A = this chain, B = another copy of it.
Amino acid sequence: MTSLKVNINGVDFKNPVIAASGTFGFGEEYSEYFDVSRIGGISSKGLTINPKAGNEGRRLHEVTGGLINSIGLQNPGIDEFIELEIPKMRSLNTVILANMGGGTMDDYLAGASKLDKADVDIIELNISCPNVKSGGMAFGIKSCVAHEVVSEVRKVTKKPLMVKLSPNAEDIVEMAVKCREAGADSLSLVNTFKAMAIDINKRKPVFRNIFAGLSGACIKPMALRMTYEVAGAVDIPVIGMGGIMNAEDAIEFIMAGATAVQVGSANFVKPDIMLDIIDGMEAFMKREGIKSIDEIRGIARG
């Protein structure tokens, strides 16, 4: 019997394949296309304490092996999420991660307090959000800033707290260590890479904010490296992501030390790609005589 089951911070997952925040809505949109209950979990679109309209102008730009997005955290706000979306998400019968962002410390704390009482399994704290106070540099760049946010959020919730790291961090390993010290129960990485594109005919940046976030197959080799480094530096579960397109990619992350993986942009390539990934992982394990995913976790670390 091959088992893909994993446990993260006391929460049981059918398998280690989780839909990444912002690419899967609240799961409902995709439930028309496949049996969403088969995936390990869903990380909700990024939530903020107040509803957010998101960014103006172009929001997407395709590049080789991926895309750049500038959605700007459009979301209905945590209250509406709790009231309208959680019940629907629950009916999808899989683990719910509430992905939460914020522009100030207060936003984070207010959001976390509300989510603490909501019917979600894990809070995924997105620290890639621009810090309003420090001129827009994201919370996730300097470890000391991240440490402060995570410590404070830790105080207001008893839910499992997964901190989602930004690949733009100055030092991803130090960042991981600091977040763990500050009370993170698990870490997920990576968020999107800071990138840009220029429309040479219009002679200006494609995006209003100039910079936006790169995701997709193109970031995988870097995301895998960061996952490997972080998994070696902390003793809490690490959830890897970034450009995972198939079962082989997912297995690389597991062998690098990830407890589970998240799949984001790949959902745009094929709506039910996560089922292919789950089935492919199971087939690989059967072929190699691997009974539990624990047998290969971190195995490439030697």
Q: Point out residues on A near B: beta carbons under 8 Å.
A: 63-66, 68, 170-171, 193-198, 200, 203-205, 210-211, 214, 217-222, 224-225, 228, 243, 245, 248, 251-252, 255-256, 284, 296, 299-300, 302
Contacts and interface: CB of A to CB of B under 8 A. Distances in A.
Given A194-B222, A195-B224, A243 B204 contact: no
A205 B224 CA distance: 11
B195 A222 contact: yes
B196 A64 contact: no
Given A64-B220, A196-B228, A214-B221, 16 more contacts: A64-B64, A65-B218, A66-B218, A193-B222, A194-B222, A195-B221, A196-B221, A197-B224, A198-B224, A198-B252, A203-B300, A204-B299, A205-B300, A211-B225, A218-B218, A218-B219
Contacts of A252: 197-198, 200
B65 A217 contact: yes
Stoichiometry, copies per complex:
2
A253 to B, nearest CB: 8
A2 to B, nearest CB: 16
Contact of A225 (B66, B194, B200, B220): B194
A9 to B, nearest CB: 25
B198 A68 contact: no
Contacts of A218: 64-66, 217-219, 221
Contacts of A245: 64
A190 to B, nearest CB: 12
A198 B68 CA distance: 26
A200 B64 contact: no
A151 to B, nearest CB: 22
A211 B227 CA distance: 12
Contacts of A203: 255, 296, 299-300
A299 B201 CA distance: 11
Given A64-B243, A65-B65, A203-B296, A196 B217 contact: no
Contacts of A65: 64-66, 217-218
B302 A204 contact: yes
Contacts of A68: 221
Contacts of A210: 228
A243 B214 CA distance: 14
